[in-house]
Amino acid sequence: MALVLATDDSGGPEIFASLQGEGPSAGTPVAFIRLSRCNLACTWCDTAYTWRFEGDNRPHRDGVAFARKANQVTLPEEEVAELVAALGQSRLVITGGEPLMQCGPLADLLALLPDIAVEIETNGTVKATAHVDIRVDQYNVSPKLAHSGNEAALALIPERLDFYASDPRAFFKFVIAAPEDVEEVLDLQRRHRIRPDRLFLMAEGTTSAALREKQAWLSELCLKHGLRMSDRLHIHLYGDERGT
């Protein structure tokens, strides 16, 4: 088997070292792997090059279709493990796309990296296989709200949300575009008994200016409801760029 990865600006695999920009590990030095393909289609997705390939008509606000050959690269797990190890980091974040769509080769990769702590960033619709799950230290679960453009039946699967809400390794991160989105989060929190100390609200935006504008009112809502707010540190540091 082999992993299907997104590409960086050079056409190589998007494997890099950076600071984690979001959620409970924000500011932590990590290695990143960005895998390709996703089972959802968020209209505001800032990594649409992982799924919106030519011929894919799922809506996106930019309306851009990417050439699959230029934006995907397939590598054996051994080569990916070597590239990750060469970065010299003690923590690995696997993101996408939806990385849990590739559990078979992902399990083989993680078996080659037994001494590195692993975070999986997932949209919460897929459950890891046992061979992946046993090697995961943290799940960063980002369920997609109505403003994402995904149907709730696809994006908010009750048994999946219950599963992650009951896992002490899982943290929830909700993308917020407008104040009314917080009410949808609060309803999900109540229905699935998500602990408030494991729930983050994060403003949607791909520029510092857009984030700051939304954080002005989002911070007040976090205070009101006793929830944590996540920034997008990498946007402030590097902009909306691949490999950051």
Q: Is 124 left (phi over 0), alpha (psi -120 to 50) or beta?
A: left
Domain boundaries, the chain: 2-172
What is the pTM for the complete model shown? 0.97
Which residues pair with residue 122 across a beta bridge? 141
> Two tokens at 206?
């791909």
pLDDT digits (tens, 9 = 90+) for 49-74: 999 999 998 999 999 999 999 999 99
- Across the chain, what does the average pLDDT equal? 97
Domain 2-172, CATH? 3.20.20
Per-residue burial over 70-101, b = 16 or more CB atoms within 10 Å of its CB, e = otherwise: ebbbebebeebbebbeebebebbbbbbbbbbb
> Two tokens at 46?
């800032």
pLDDT digits (tens, 9 = 90+) for 149-194: 999 999 999 999 999 999 999 999 999 999 999 999 999 999 999 9
